[in-house]
Chains A and B, each alone.
Chain A
Amino acid sequence: MSTLARLRRWIGKHLVLGLGLLVLVYTFVPIAVVVLMSFNNNSKSKNVYKFQDFTWNNWLHPFKPGGMKDSVILSIEIALLATLVATILGTLAAFALSRHKFVGRKAANLIIFLPMASPEIVMGSSLLALFVSRGFGGQLGFITILIAHVMFCLSFVIVTVKARLSGLDDNLEQAAMDLYANEVQTFWRVTFPLVLPGIIGAALLSFSLSFDDFIVTNLNAGQEVTFPMFVYGANQRGVPMQVNVIGTAMFVIAIAIVLGNEIFRRRQEKALAA
């Protein structure tokens, strides 16, 4: 076989793999930049966003820039609370929307998608108008941010949990009842464990939606500054390299969650096979 033909075969075999890798590179280059920049010492020139010198300093003093620590803590607090409230309310709503028949159910199922479909700037400004018109114009802050975040997280939670519920075989709950489980036991022993992956997925989604929201938050935050708002503000003067530290940390945590989940699943499978 000639070298050319061999090369062609090799390319044919590896084309899909190669393209896939290229797409991955495309997706991960920005993240790689963030990780790299978290080790950048930009003390020479604050206004040039360029890798100058390697340093551990950003990681050792991540909260050095003024106001950044408060903004990160605020964002995490809001994200946790918004996730909690949206996940609980959304899960209950998803059960109601998929299990109970009531007038307006179809309409409700449709309206759920509106917050996801409408531009954030519209939602954010309408919400602001609502707060101001109700006389909360002077009290914009933690509570109004939280309300706003719960609002846009809710539809994602409802849609995610509903999808999980609709994939659930009715027969399973009937089988549980047939096997002497009463309504409460059926819910906690069968329904809930089977819907749980959907609920967890919805919670993770809510957390990241809330943590990185800028537009809606910016309109309803009053004097408060969340992490995305801090980054935006800092951007005017030159982004502190510590922002990359927080970004990298979030990325690492997300990867750790996914990996942890995968390892747990594989261990379980191994235990089963043994």
Chain B
Amino acid sequence: MSQLHESTTTDRPASGSRDLRLSGLTKEYAAFTAVKSLDLVMPQGSFFALLGPSGCGKTTTLRMVAGLETPTSGAIHLGDTEITYAKPYKRPVNTVFQNYALFPHLNISKNVAFGLERRGVKNVGQQVADMLELVELTSQAHKKPAQMSGGQQQRVALARALINQPEVLLLDEPLGALDLKLRRGMQLELKRIQTEVGLTFVHVTHDQEEAMTMADTIAVMNQGVIEQMGAPNDLYENPKTTFVANFLGQSNLIEAEIQGREGGQVKVRVQGALASIPTERAHSESGKGWLGIRPEKVLIAEAGHPIDAPGDVITGGFITDVSFVGVSTQYMVKMPWGQELMVFEQNTGARRMLPVGTKVDVSWRPEYAFLLDASQDAKAGIEED
């Protein structure tokens, strides 16, 4: 928890009075446990992402915060107020639903005015107009939802929630139904609006890039528990579990035997070669472990040729696959022990593309490596699609 506060509140004035706190939050269904004793603090004003594959419990968590699902046990607090069992319409929380859930029988401005009118606010016209302007839909105010495109509907859903100035805005995969280009645009738009209005945004998504683009803090969820939480770059650079290493980007995980500590380093033996990992990146102490290295951190050179800025070197690989993706080249390198490593090389033009079959050496800077517990599944979190 403390780590979370440090990473997200440094550039904000003292907050904390209206943080969203989940404590021991659990949701059990007849056949399985969707959320297992979740403890989480989402600081006021932060953009918080719950990231995980489908079925990990992220949407259930969101729905419990919204009041659309009743927790089996645990508590939800907004500041000092407990809202665990409060009716959805009694919480200062609004949701942008995955399929937008716009009221098909009401036009856009009536949709947007719905929340204010239910709370008995009079003369909502000006506020509705302002909100439609914020999402750039002023000219569409009298259309019905069915007459609008997906992106426009998404913005109506956002406006309909934001106009109520909730303390927490919940976003349930709000961009999932949009095409890639529109999604990128909306990501930036959402981030801009969040910064402007300063509300707490809790964003549920299975798209790791989306989470990293927008969120201050990401909590990676898997099978009802939080695997790891932190700022996007911390999570990416220093994953603590194989699930996070694979789900957030891609990782090479190589079997390693831990030799022991030496200074600030943990020494490991990797298939005969020696490698080291900074202790703060080593999440296993003894026995076996997974040495992890991101593909873009792996350097590659033809066997025997010098490697630019080398670190730990492993020799004897050969290239089995090359794919050129413009900004970079992605190599698959078969190592002597049979494993294929992914190597992404920036297309700087410094060297020609290496063809399939080339014998190569690979290397990486020790400070980029991480060490994970060998008892974890090396394939956890790898997405099938």
Contact = CB atoms under 8 A, between A and B. Distances in A.
Interface residues of A, number: 20
A176 B115 CA distance: 8
Contacts of B68: 174, 177-178
A193 B105 contact: yes
Contacts of B351: none
Nearest to B118: A180
Interface string B150-169: 00000000001100100000
Interface in B53-85: 66-68
Contact of A272 (B89, B98, B142): B142
A173 B384 CA distance: 34
B107 interface: yes
B366 interface: no
A181 B118 contact: yes
Interface in B81-131: 87-89, 93-95, 97-99, 101-105, 107, 114-115, 118-119
Nearest to B94: A178
B114 A179 contact: yes
B143 interface: yes
Interface centre among B93, B102, B103, B115 (most CB of A within 10 A): B103
B15 interface: no
A176 B103 contact: yes
A177 B88 contact: yes
B118 A178 contact: no
A272 B143 contact: yes
B323 interface: no
Contacts of A180: 89, 115, 118-119, 164
A46 to B, nearest CB: 54
A272 B141 CA distance: 9
B174 to A, nearest CB: 13
A194 B118 CA distance: 18
Given A174-B68, A194-B105, A272-B143, A179 B164 contact: yes
Contacts of B286: none
B144 interface: yes
Contacts of A171: 97-99, 101
A2 interface: no
A225 B261 CA distance: 102
B213 interface: no
A176 B161 CA distance: 11
A172 B68 CA distance: 12
Interface centre among A171, A175, A181 (most CB of B within 10 A): A175
A182 interface: yes
Given A177-B89, A182-B89, 17 more contacts: A171-B99, A172-B104, A174-B88, A175-B95, A175-B102, A178-B161, A179-B89, A179-B94, A179-B114, A179-B118, A179-B161, A180-B164, A181-B114, A189-B118, A193-B105, A272-B147, A274-B142
Interface of B: 66-68, 87-89, 93-95, 97-99, 101-105, 107, 114-115, 118-119, 142-144, 147, 160-161, 164
CB-based closest 9 A-B pairs: A171-B101, A179-B115, A175-B101, A180-B118, A177-B88, A180-B89, A181-B118, A178-B95, A193-B105
